């Protein structure tokens, strides 16, 4: 493993204004810090272009160009084949609820949808609600030994009535990367489509929807260095088949507008350009001189190296303690893990440990992280659930060392709270 970071961390951290406020942010899977460039795009839109699109006047055309620029940036970010394959929405939850609604006329009584027990509720609940219309929901369970989703288990669930398989790219608890291309091929070979929740993946690795061959792919910009907003990729032909969610005169061919009722939020969509600008700059710093897409890939290659260093530093500390259970793979074999790391300490309340960290200005989280079915399935809901440290590339080894030193102090009783019985 490389032992030095290829990133210029001073540059990286200078791009996130929130990082200079004295906090260590270890709750990035809850929400990352926003890029200066993303903020600037929001301001630029609101100050210079803040009118409705579709007018004949110059400012309205400039606003429409900004929205098109945003979709084009998102197209590069995920490697879609055209900007119209990008649907903006307020959150991943809302986009998946919209997708389920827009799919309704394609589904008949007795059709089947498969979801996984390891998904965030956002990619289960919307599909579960379709049971009201006669759709059957099946659960793809996790192998409790290996904590993996096994294709053999999926095979036994699929039938000729299976229309859709919904799966997370990375669980926001386990942190390991699911083999999405392999799953997509498996699902397609059996005549179904795949819908991927990539919220816990997109901040860490280059998304390539063409290489993954996914049908629908959704993630939140507020966890990928932008504001509270989200985007969904869909294969163009599949988006054409979806029902309109907008006015009746937005026909099936109005892609993606028919899936963005009331219009997207222009300024937040425009922030995507700032995210892509940043990744482009990182790619250039890594020596890439090719296309924007190549620069994004080079940026994430460098980000991965930095994240591997962080992952190993924290995992090796947790492994060294005999009172700690890591929830997920305890090693980062073949870079298969992102630095989203959940764990528990014997006989300790997750809430108490987390609250003790508040006093250290270390922001982290405890609970089930809305992946409640997984927490229940793994029997991890007592004692406040799990603690989670979720890092991204702007975090540093020094921050981890400060955290582990604080944890040592707290666990040895220095924080002055009683052990849970």
What residue ranges bind ligand PLP (CB under 6 A)? 29, 91-93, 120, 122, 168, 172, 197, 199-200, 220, 230, 370
Q: How far is the CB of 222 from ligand PLP (least distance, A)?
A: 7
Span between the terminal Cα atoms of the chain, in Å: 41
Among residues 166 and 298, whose Cβ is nearest to ligand PLP?
166
Closest CA to 233 of 248, 252, 253, 213: 213
- Give yes or no for a contact between 153 and 143, defined as CB atoms under 8 angstroms apart: yes
For 38, the enclosing helix (H) or strand (E) is helix 36-48
Among residues 89 and 283, whose Cβ is nearest to ligand PLP?
89
Of how many residues is the chain composed? 421
Among residues 91 and 213, whose Cβ is nearest to ligand PLP?
91
- Give yes or no for a contact between 223 and 197, defined as CB atoms under 8 angstroms apart: no
Among residues 173 and 292, whose Cβ is nearest to ligand PLP?
173
Among residues 198 and 314, whose Cβ is nearest to ligand PLP?
198
Among residues 29 and 326, whose Cβ is nearest to ligand PLP?
29
Q: How far is the CB of 371 from ligand PLP (least distance, A)?
A: 7
DSSP letter, residue 123: G
Strand order in the sheet with 386-390: 324-327, 340-345, 386-390, 365-367
- Give yes or no for a contact between 73 and 225, defined as CB atoms under 8 angstroms apart: no
Q: How far is the CB of 87 from ligand PLP (least distance, A)?
A: 14
Among residues 216 and 305, whose Cβ is nearest to ligand PLP?
216
Q: How far is the CB of 401 from ligand PLP (least distance, A)?
A: 26
Q: How far is the CB of 317 from ligand PLP (least distance, A)?
A: 24
Q: How far is the CB of 176 from ligand PLP (least distance, A)?
A: 13
Cα dihedral sign, 402-301-339-125: positive
Query: Which positions ≥6 away from 174 have C-beta within 8 Å?
Result: 118, 147, 327, 328, 329, 342, 374
Q: Around 128, how many Cα atoms within 13 Å sit in the side-chain half-sphere?
A: 11
Closest CA to 404 of 386, 389, 420: 389
Q: How far is the CB of 341 from ligand PLP (least distance, A)?
A: 14
Closest CA to 211 of 81, 73, 70: 81
């Amino acid at each position: 493993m490389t032992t030095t970071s290829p990133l210029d961390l001073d540059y990286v951290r200078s791009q996130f204004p929130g990082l200079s406020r004295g906090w260590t942010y270890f709750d990035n899977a809850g929400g990352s810090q926003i890029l200066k460039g993303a903020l600037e795009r929001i301001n630029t839109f609101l100050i210079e272009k803040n009118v409705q699109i579709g007018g004949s006047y110059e400012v309205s055309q400039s606003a429409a160009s900004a929205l098109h620029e945003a979709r084009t940036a998102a197209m590069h970010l995920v490697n879609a084949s055209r900007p119209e394959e990008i649907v903006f929405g307020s959150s991943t939850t809302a986009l998946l609820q919209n997708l389920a609604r827009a799919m309704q006329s394609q589904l008949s009584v007795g059709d089947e949808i498969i979801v996984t027990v390891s998904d965030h509720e956002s990619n289960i609940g919307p599909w579960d609600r379709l049971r009201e219309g006669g759709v059957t929901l099946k659960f793809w369970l996790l192998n409790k030994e290996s904590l993996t989703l096994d294709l053999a288990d999926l095979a036994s669930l699929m039938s000729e009535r299976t229309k859709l398989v919904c799966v997370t790219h990375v669980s926001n608890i386990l942190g390991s990367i699911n083999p999405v291309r392999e799953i997509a091929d498996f699902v397609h070979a059996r005549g179904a489509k795949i819908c991927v929740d990539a919220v816990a993946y997109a901040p860490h690795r280059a998304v390539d929807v063409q290489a993954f061959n996914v049908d629908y792919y959704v993630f939140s910009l507020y966890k990928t260095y932008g504001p509270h907003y989200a985007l969904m990729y869909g294969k163009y032909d599949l988006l054409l088949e979806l029902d309109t969610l907008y006015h009746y005169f937005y026909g099936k061919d109005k892609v993606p507008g028919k899936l963005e009722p009331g219009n997207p939020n222009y300024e937040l969509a425009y922030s995507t350009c700032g995210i892509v600008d940043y990744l482009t700059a990182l790619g250039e710093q890594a020596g890439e001189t090719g296309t924007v897409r190549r620069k994004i890939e080079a940026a994430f290659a460098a980000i991965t190296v930095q994240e591997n260093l962080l992952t190993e530093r924290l995992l090796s500390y947790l492994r060294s303690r005999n009172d700690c259970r890591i929830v997920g793979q305890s090693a980062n074999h073949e870079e298969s893990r992102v630095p989203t790391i959940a764990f528990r300490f014997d006989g300790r309340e997750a809430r108490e440990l987390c609250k003790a960290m508040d006093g250290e200005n270390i922001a982290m989280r405890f609970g089930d992280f809305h992946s409640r079915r997984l927490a229940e399935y793994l029997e991890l809901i007592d004692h406040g659930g799990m603690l989670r440290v979720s890092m991204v590339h702007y975090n540093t080894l020094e921050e981890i060392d400060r955290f582990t030193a604080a944890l040592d102090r707290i666990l040895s009783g220095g924080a002055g709270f009683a052990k849970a019985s």
